[in-house]
Amino acid sequence: MSGGSARSGALGVAPPRTVGVAGAGTMGAGIAQLASLSGARTLLHDPISEALNAGLERIRAQLERGVERGRLKAAQAEEASARLEAAPALEDLADCELVIEAAPERLELKREVFAQLSDGIVSDDCVLATNTSSLLVTAIAGAAKRPDRVVGMHFFNPPPVMRLLEVVAGEQSSEEALALARAAGEAMGKHVIDALDGPGFLVNRCNRPFGLEALKLLQERVAGSGEIDRICRMGGGFRMGPFELMDLVGVDVGLDVSRSFYEQSFGEPRWRPSPIAVKTVAAGRLGRKSGRGYYDYSGGPGQHRPPDPEPLSSGGGDGLIVIAGTSPLALALADGASDAGWEVALPEDAKEREAPFLILDVGFGEDAEVPLQGGPQGICCAQGSLAVLDPGGGAVGFHALPPLEEASLVELTRGPDSADSAASAAERFFATLGKHTTWVADAPGLVLGRIVSQVVNEAAFAVAEGVGSAADVDAGMVHGLNYPRGILAWADQIGLDHVLAVLDGLYEERREERYRAAPLLRSLVMSGRLGRQTGEGFFSHDG
């Protein structure tokens, strides 16, 4: 349950009985559909009569479709449609307890709507909410007669489908106004989370590195765009890779958001726009809407990339695998190897044994009690690149993230002196665990580890700054962006020392401020709160 739900209930706030929606486009119509289904009398306004009529027709068509698909009962749809009314003029919203503005993302336009509404149209007690996703709620509220009655209600597209609602507190938003907005969202069936005003609020802010770090990987030629996406899907469980997502949203839209973040933050290095995106937009490759972005969509729906291969069957291990380290990844590898038929030993237990098939160093810099030698080696590239961890050596590098049992792909890398025997042994070993492998260029964290660590880091910054709670971050990423799991709970499962090792490795080798670790993340690690393995990290864990 979100913190917002608890506070709404504590205040005993009932959802509004009359809701206005200003703007009848895709977002506005979707919000009005939710309001009418919640039981509120719903007034839909648009200054353009054709747009208003189209919005009303869209809502009623969606209600009928809901009945046809069994999602709604016929009576529900009929009652919702009866509660829906046209409001051709702003003055028609006079009786509303809540007005949700869904106008185009132009600050002056939104400010004008709020100024007009609060200038004798709605009562002083009416809550005015903006659905903006990129503008500051505080900047919009400044035009209202009572800025304390202005809040953000950020719905995710499409509103009737996406479960999340961010209720955003501007600098002057009152708790009473926020509580009414939460109550309205809960009545609409949304998972409500709270956020403070700022660039991207909570969810879009935390997700910034998903695309930006992918673009940095592409810029450094660690992997191609299609391979980066495949690694995120197969290695991390994402439904869509970052380049597919950027194409879906619109490369130009994403670039505009990046520029807005960078400008609002006065040049925060973590949010610096990518020159690759600038060139892609300049070339007219805007994504799906233009037929080409990072992918070519001329072949029709679903033809822009080959399908991912089916997972491999595990088993077939035969011989000794030595695993050094006690991290969650090391333990997961040991469990997987044992299940696949390998004999697994720690370095100190393998001294008198036959030569191992493969030695895996997953110690993140821990000093092994005995030298790791006697067979081909694979080194986990967490706290550094393979070039730093094994200069001139014959090992190969690898990286993967827990939960390993849910991944179907592991990344490998090699240097100029990596032994062919180590490469072939690593490929075969991971195949017996049921994992595909892919070769990428050398870097701390390789691809998935680097992207996920950066998202965790941004979320840690946001939590420490009070933008939102850890629980709300995770709920937002799952319900608003379809993440495979909450990003901070995932960090606890990976091990916060693992995440910090990747970030520090990137900072040491790149010397870029974008990789500086969030103080909260470093503090948790320094205090021994590493996540599930220690019982506490961003969350407390029992057992």
Reduce the DSSP state of residue 358 to 3 states and report it. Answer: strand
Amino acid at 50: E
Angle at 393 between CA 392 and CA 396, to 5 degrees: 120
Residue 303 has, within 13 A of its CA and on its CB side, a CA count of 7
Q: Give the angle subtended at the CA of 528 by the CAs of 527 and 530, to the nearest 5°.
A: 120
The answer to whether residue 509 is catalytic is no
Between CA 286 and CA 278 the distance in angstroms is 10
The DSSP 8-state label assigned to residue 271 in this structure reads: G
- Active-site residue, 191 included: no
- Catalytic entry in 8, 97, 131, 166: 166
Give me the sign of the Cα torsion angle 336, 342, 345, 347. negative
How many helices (H) does the chain have, and how many strands (E)?
A: 20, 15
Three-class DSSP category at 305: coil
Annotated catalytic residue, options 154, 191, 304, 436: 154
Cα within 13 Å of Cα(33), Cβ side: 26
The dihedral through the CA atoms of 184, 185, 186, 189 has a sign that is positive
Element (H, E) at 247: helix 242-249
Residue of 131, 133, 408, 453 with catalytic role: 133
* Polymer length in residues for the chain: 543
* Backbone phi, psi, residue 391, to 5°: -60, 120
Which member of 2, 38, 173, 204 is catalytic? 204
Segment holding 345, helix H or strand E: strand 343-345
Which amino acid belongs to residue 10?
A
Tell me if the bond preceding 403 is cis, omega within 30° of 0: yes
Give the other-Cβ count within 10 Å of 296's Cβ: 12
Other Cβ atoms within 10 Å of 145 Cβ, number: 15
Is 154 marked active-site? yes
The C-alpha atoms of residue 33 and residue 49 are separated, in whole angstroms, by: 18
> What residues contact residue 458 under an 8 Å CB cut-off, 6+ apart?
205, 206, 208, 209, 270, 518
What burial letters (b/e) apply to 430-442, b meaning 16+ CB within 10 Å?
Answer: bbbbbbbbbebeb
- 354 as an active site residue: the answer is no
Distance CA 458, CA 469 (A): 13
Bridge pairing between strands 409-414 and 436-439: parallel
Enter the DSSP assignment of 280. Answer: H
- Distance, first Cα to last Cα, the chain: 22
Task: Give the contacts of 218 (CB within 8 A, at least 6 positions apart).
Answer: 224, 225, 228, 243, 276
CA 22/CA 112 separation, integer angstroms:
12
Residues tagged active-site: 133, 154, 166, 204
